[in-house]
Amino acid sequence: MASQDWVDKDFYKILGVPKDATAADIKKSYRKLARKHHPDQNQATGGSDKMFKDISEAYSVLSDSEDRQQYDAIRAMGGGARFTAGGPGGGAGGAGFEDIFGNLFGQGAGQPRPGRQRPGGGGGASYGNLPPEFADLFGQGGGGGFGGYQPTPRKGADRTATTSISFAGSINGTTIGLREPSGEVIDVRVPAGIKDGQKVRVRGKGQAGAAGNGDLMVSVSVKPHPFFQRDGDNIRVHVPVSFPEAALGAQIDVPTLTGETVKVKVPAGTPSGRTLRVKGRGVRTAKATGDLLVTIDVVVPQKLNKDAEAAVEAFAAATGDANPRAGLAAKAKL
């Protein structure tokens, strides 16, 4: 880079940092600007090529303590004056700008130290190159010039599928086979306790990719059961009881998910619709075990023989002073 360029360009302004900025501040600002203006990140909008080149030049100089010292000295001594190089065609100014500062620092001014190339400089260096410490900025290695950085290899895309299983399969777990168009059968292990609509991941059965295959995501639909109803990890059931059982109290047998029955005590005076809880008889998963929720349905007999009818009439006479609708009108007032 010519020294005249160092006079013309305010690298601090380009990076948006003050002249007393620390190395950390310079690095942070460059990282932000490089991500914003990298040409490969702005192909749709364009216009970032020159900006990226300028911020790369600025960081190359200001990130090196010796180059930064030289740049500050040249800016301080050169001011806004313009110089021409010495030698033939260099004008009548005698020693040129390059010669003055070349003597001052023991080398041609503006020339990088051996082995160091600045973005945008000569030697065929590509101005798209990023310093090694910023190799992660766009998911690339330290090499790769402008327009040619290598993205991080990615896994293949995931695929999706759907399947339907029985209620028992959702409670106890099951394995299903999904057939590919090619004829291959993929075994899908469905864990115990899976809920309707949940997904099962089958690793490595998605689309192929540079970093490996993606996964197969299987959405599981659970068929309803005529007796058991899932409510989170709880199981709800409705159990009919007779009027005498509800009125006098009883102990009844209730089926569970395991096929066994559990005894449930129905307290005397239990109304229809009351739910009784049986701990630990719900769905078992790796994380928790739910409960069995038993809703009592009091059954009213459809037909009564003469003896039963007489008994009900006697019961009605014995409880005639009890009005289950007492206070209903008061509750219904607006």
CA distance 213 to 205: 7
**pLDDT class for 78, splitting at 50, 70, 90?**
low
pLDDT tens-digit map of 272-331: 999 999 999 999 988 899 999 999 999 999 999 999 999 999 999 998 888 888 889 999
Write the DSSP symbol of residue 15: H
Phi, psi (degrees; rounded to nearest 5) at 10: -100, 95
Amino acid letter, residue 101:
F
Write the DSSP symbol of residue 319: T
Q: Is the pLDDT of residue 16 over 50?
A: yes
CA distance 37 to 14: 12
Find, among 162, 159, 163, 160, the residue nearest to 214 by Cα.
159
- pTM for this one? 0.54
Find, among 111, 108, 140, 123, the residue nearest to 41 by Cα.
140
Find, among 298, 304, 295, the residue nearest to 245 by Cα.
298
Q: Which two tokens stand for residue 298?
A: 């009091």
CA distance 141 to 129: 10
Phi, psi (degrees; rounded to nearest 5) at 236: -105, 140
Kindly tell me the sign of the dihedral angle through the C-alpha atoms of 127, 129, 134, 136: positive
Q: Is the pLDDT of residue 42 over 50?
A: yes
Q: Which residues pair with 222 in a beta bridge?
A: 165
Amino acid 219: pLDDT: 96
The strand pair at 216-222 and 159-165 is best described as parallel
Question: DSSP secondary structure string, 216-268?
Answer: EEEEEEE---SS-EEETTEEEEEEEEEHHHHHH-EEEEEE-TTS-EEEEEE-T
Which single residue is written with the structure tokens 């040409």?
39
Q: Which two tokens stand for residue 50?
A: 């020159």
Size of the chain, expressed as the number of residues it contains: 334
Amino acid 91: pLDDT: 42
The strand pair at 292-299 and 234-242 is best described as parallel
Q: Is the pLDDT of residue 125 over 50?
A: no
| Average pLDDT value for the chain | 80
Neighbours of 217 (CB within 10 A): 16
User: What percent of the chain is predicted at pLDDT more than 70?
Assistant: 73
Write the DSSP symbol of residue 283: -
Buried b (16+ CB within 10 A) or exposed e, 98-112: bbbbbeeeeeebbbb
Find, among 57, 50, 70, the residue nearest to 118 by Cα.
57
**pLDDT class for 35, splitting at 50, 70, 90?**
confident
Amino acid letter, residue 298:
V
CA distance 41 to 39: 5
Amino acid 133: pLDDT: 59
Amino acid 127: pLDDT: 42
Neighbours of 6 (CB within 10 A): 24
Amino acid 85: pLDDT: 37
Per-residue three-class SS string for 73-141: HHHHHHCCCCCCCCCCCCCCCCCCHHHHHHHHHCCCCCCCCCCCCCCCCCCCCCCCCCCHHHCCCCCCC
Q: Are 141 and 198 in contact (CB under 8 A)?
A: no
pLDDT tens-digit map of 222-238: 999 999 999 999 999 99
Q: Are 141 and 150 in contact (CB under 8 A)?
A: yes
Q: Is the pLDDT of residue 149 over 70?
A: no
Give me the domains of the chain, ranges plus CATH numbers. 3-134 (1.10.287.110), 159-222 (2.60.260.20), 229-318 (2.60.260.20)
pLDDT tens-digit map of 174-215: 999 999 888 999 999 999 999 999 999 999 999 999 899 999
